Structure 1
Amino acid sequence: MNSGGPGRVASWWAALLFMAMNFGAWLPAAMAAEIESLSLDNGEYRIPGTLTLPVRLQVASRCPAVLMLHGTGSNKDEVGGVYKRLAGELARAGIASLRIDFAGTGDSSVDYRQYTLSGATRDAAVALKALGEHVGVDPQRLGVLGFSQGGLIAQGLVVKQPDIRALATWSSVANDGIGVFQPLFDEHLDQARRDGYAVVNFPWRGPLNFSLEWFDEVRASTALSDMAGYHGKLLAIAGLADDAVPHEASLRLVEAAGSTDARVLLIKNADHIYHALGEDRSQIDEVIEQTVRFFHAGL
C-alpha cells in the first residue's frame, strides 16, 4: 500500500525531528536523558557528580547546561530527590545538568571538615569547568542553581564567572556575614574554637563536623554585596512560610544583584523545602516547572 510517496515520508521524519528538538516532550521519561557518573579532581580530593544529558538526534548539536549546588547537609540529589527530578525535566527540555556532592556529603569520601565557603566555591568552579568542556555542552550557555546554602555558594561562583548567563536560587541564604547562621554560631562557635571543629546534629541526617574555618569564612563573607558584580539573569524562589531562611533573603538577593533581569517568585504557604517530602507535591512541582522555564528561556 502506498502511504503517500517519498514526500510524505520526508515530511513525517521532519515532524519527528521537530518533536524531538521541542523539549523532548514526546519522549517517555526513561528515554529523555542519558546519565553519567563523574569523579572530578580538585587537586585535594575527588568530587562525585551526576551528569544528565538530553537525548539528541543530532549528535553535532550542543545544548545549554545547568550546574546544581545542594544545601547544608544534603547531597547531589537533594531532599526528596528533587534535583534528580529536576535533572530529568531539564533533559526533556533539551538542557544538560551536572549535580555534585560537596565535601563530606553524599558520595564524598572526605570529612565535612573539608567543607568551607571557599572550598565549596572552588569545587563548584571545577564542576562548572568540566560541564562547559563536555563535548555535548555549549560553554556559552551555562546556568547555575543553588538551594539554601548552595545558593550562597552559587553567589560566590557567579560573580567570578562572568560568562554564566542565568542563576536560579531556591530558599537561598543571602547576607553578608553571619545572618541566618547566627544560631549555629551561638551554639557551636565555642567548640569550634576549642577543638578546631564543632559537631553539629541535624534532625534529618547524622552529625556533621563544621570546621573553625567555615565559621571564620561565614563571618567575613561579603557574598550579598558582591552580587552587584553579577549581570546575568536571576530567578530567586522562596517560600512565604520558610522559617529556616526567611523569604526576605531572596528579596535582598534580587535587590543586590547588578542584573537588569532579576525577579523573585514567592510560593504561598511553602516551607524551606516546598513540602518536597509531603503527600501534596504541588509546591515543589511548581518550583521545578518554573525553574525549567527560566533556564529554557534564559539559556
Structure 2
Amino acid sequence: MKGRLTYLAIVFCAALLLAVPDGSVNAAEKNVQFRVDGKSVVGTLETPDNAAEPAPVVLMLHGFTGSRDELPVKDTDEGVFARTARQLAENGYASLRIDFRGSGESQGAWEDTTFSGQIADAVAAIDWLKSSQEIDNDNISILGWSQGGLVAAHAAAERPDVKSVILWAPVTNPMATYSGLLGSETVMKAIAGAPETPHTVKLPWGVDTTLKGAFYQEMPVTSPAAAIAGYEGPLMVIVGTRDTLVVPQPAAGQILLNYHPGKQQLVVFDTDHVWDAFSGPGTLDGQMIPTTLKWLEENR
C-alpha cells in the first residue's frame, strides 16, 4: 500500500526557548526527480524566495507507510513535513522532502520496501543536493522521523560530511518496534521464510499492509546505533515520553547518543509519536520546529 497511513503512537515536554517568526520570507516549491536503481524518486524542493544567496538545506525523510508531506495536521491544510518545510523556508532554510521508492509518487512497489532500499534513496538524495546549484550544497543537514530516523542515521554514516543530523523519534531497535507494530509471530515467520514471500498484516490503525520477507529479514541486522557511531558531526535526537511506538522513551533515543562520538543533544517533550498532530499544530509550531531551527542555527 502506498500513501500516508502513518503510525499512531504517543510521545513529553520541557518548555521551549525559541519561537518561529511569523515569517516575511516566502517559499518557492518545485518537484524534482532523480533515479535510484532505475526507478524515479520524487521530491519537493522548497527554497526561501528571493534569497540573496543559496540557502542551507535540510533533507527530510518520512516514516513507515508515510510520504513526503507526512501526516495531516489537524485544523490546518498541511502535513507535518510540508508545514515544517514552509517554516524552515521562512527562516532561511531550503529543504528537500522525498518519497522513498514504493511510497507517495515515487516509482516502485510498497511491498518491495526495505531499510537498505530507503537508505540508498537517502544517500542518492544527498548526492543530488551536492550537485545542485539552487542551494548551499556545502551545508546539508538531515531530518528523519521514525523509520526515517533509522534511515537518516545510516545515510549520515555513508555521507559523514553532512552538516548536522536531527532525528525525531527515530526507530533504534527495529526488532522491538516492528514486532510490536506487525506482530512478533509474523516477524519471526517472515524472517525464517523466503525474501520474496509477501506477508500481509493489519496495522494498529486498522489498515492492511503487505511487505515481503526481505523487509523483515533486515530487522535483526540493522542497527542505527552502530551506524551513528560512524558519524562525528552534530546529532540531536527529539523524543516524547508518551510515545507508544518507539519505546521505552527516553532510553530509545539515548542509545544513539551513547554510541555517537560528536556533539549531541537529547530533547524530551511531553508529546506522542506524531507530535500531537491529531490535536493540532501546537506541539509542532511551539516545540518541534523551533528546537530544530535552533539546532540548525547553532551548527550551520
State the TM-score, normalizing by the size of structure 1: 0.83
Question: What amino acid maps onto 2:84 in structure 1?
Answer: L
1:180 aligns with one of 177, 180, 184: 177
* Structure 2 residue 46 is matched with structure 1 residue 52: yes
Tell which structure's C-alpha radius of gyration is larger.
1
Structure 1 equivalent of residue 32 of structure 2: 38
| Structure with the larger helix share | 1
CA distance in 2, matches of 1:39, 1:263: 33
What are structure 2's unaligned runs of at least 5 residues? Answer: 1-19, 73-78
Indicate the RMSD between aligned Cα atoms, in angstroms: 2.1
Deviation at 1:253, TM superposition (A): 1.2
Deviation at 1:128, TM superposition (A): 1.3
Structure 1 residue identity aligned to 2:258: E
CA contact (8 A) 1:104 1:111 kept: yes
Instruction: Indicate if the aligned counterparts of 2:166 and 2:235 stay in contact, CA closer than 8 A.
Output: yes
Q: For residues 265 and 110 of structure 1, do their structure 2 counterparts lie closer, same or farther at Cα, with a shift above 3 Å needed?
A: same
Match of 1:169 in 2: 167
Measured after TM superposition, the shift of residue 37 of structure 1 is: 0.6
Q: 1:202, CA displacement in angstroms?
A: 2.8
Structure 1 unaligned blocks of 5 or more: 1-22
8 Å Cα contact 1:35-1:51 kept in structure 2: yes
Q: How many residues align?
A: 268
Counterpart Cα distance in 2 of 1:34 and 1:24: 18
Equivalent AA in structure 1 for residue 145 of structure 2: F
Shift of the 205–159 alpha-carbon distance from structure 1 to 2, 3 Å rule, reads farther
Counterpart secondary structure, 2:85: helix
1:13-52 residue CA offsets vs partner (Å, 9 max, x unmatched): xxxxxxxxxx99652xxx6111011122113311111000
Counterpart CA distance in 2 for 1:69 and 1:155 is 11
SS at 1:159 equivalent = helix
The residue that corresponds to 2:61 in the other structure is 69
Correspondence for 2:123: 125
- Report if aligned partners of 1:89, 1:292 keep a CA contact under 8 Å in 2: no
Contact kept in structure 2, 1:95 and 1:296, CA below 8 Å: no
* 2:157 match: 159
**Aligned residue identity for 2:143:** L
1:65-107 deviation line (CA, Å, top 9, x unaligned): 1100011011101112011011011111111100011122222
Higher relative contact order (CA 8 A, sep 6+): 2
The 3-state SS of whatever aligns with 2:274 is coil
